[in-house]
Amino acid sequence: MALAGALQGFGILMLILYNGNLADARVTSTKLLIPFPPAQPTPQNLAAICHQGQGRPRYPDSIFPRSGVGNLRRRGKAINRLEQWFTLCCLEEGEDPNATILCCTRQAWKKALSQFCREEYSTMTATYECCRKQGDERWSCFDSELPNPDYNPTPGYTAPVIPAETGFTFEANSC
C-alpha cells in the first residue's frame, strides 16, 4: 500500500514537471527537480536570458512540502532571485547595451549564488559543493555540469509572479 502511494505521488510529480505547471500544484514528494546551478551569462546565452525569462520555471513556496526539502527550497529561491535580477539587467542601457547587460547579468549571477551560499551555510545541513570553494574556483564550479546552459525556456510554461527580491544593485563602474 505504501509503495502504491509513493508511485502515485511520483506520477503526480512527473505530470507536474512534464506539463511545466509548477505554479498551481503542491509537490508531495522530495523528487522535485530544480535545474541547478544556473549557467553564467555569456554573449551566447544573453539573448535567451533577456527574451525568454518568462518561459523558465520559477519555484514559489507553495510547491514545496512544509519540511524536509530546505536544500531544494534554497535552490528554487536562488533561481527566482536570479531571474528577477536578470529582468532588471535586461533593461539596462548604455553606449554598448549588450556589454552593459552582460556585465550586469554576470554581477547578478555572482550575487545570487553568493547569497545562496550564505543561506547554505546558515543551516545545519551539508553545504552545496561549490559553496565550499573560494574565488574563481567557486565560479568555475558553479559554471560546470549545467542543466540549462543556454537558458532555454520550457515549452508551454509561463512563469508565475514571484514576490520581489531586493538586494541587487548593478555596479556599472565594475565593468
3-state secondary structure 126-162: CCCHHHHCCHHHHHHHHCCCCCCCCCCCCCCCCCCCC
Render pLDDT for 110-166 as a digit per residue (tens, 0 to 9).
999 999 999 999 988 889 999 999 999 999 999 998 999 999 999 999 999 888 888
Q: Which of 165, 175, 173 is nearest to 88 (CA)?
A: 165
For residue 157, count CB atoms less than 10 angstroms from its CB and return exposed for 0-12, middle for 13-18, buried for 19 or more.
Answer: middle
Amino acid at 82: L
Prediction pTM value? 0.81
Q: What is the DSSP letter of 174?
A: G
CA gap 141, 112 in Å, rounded: 15
CA gap 111, 93 in Å, rounded: 20
Render pLDDT for 37-49 as a digit per residue (tens, 0 to 9).
999 999 999 999 9
Length of the chain (residues): 175
The residue whose grid cell reads 507536474 is: 16
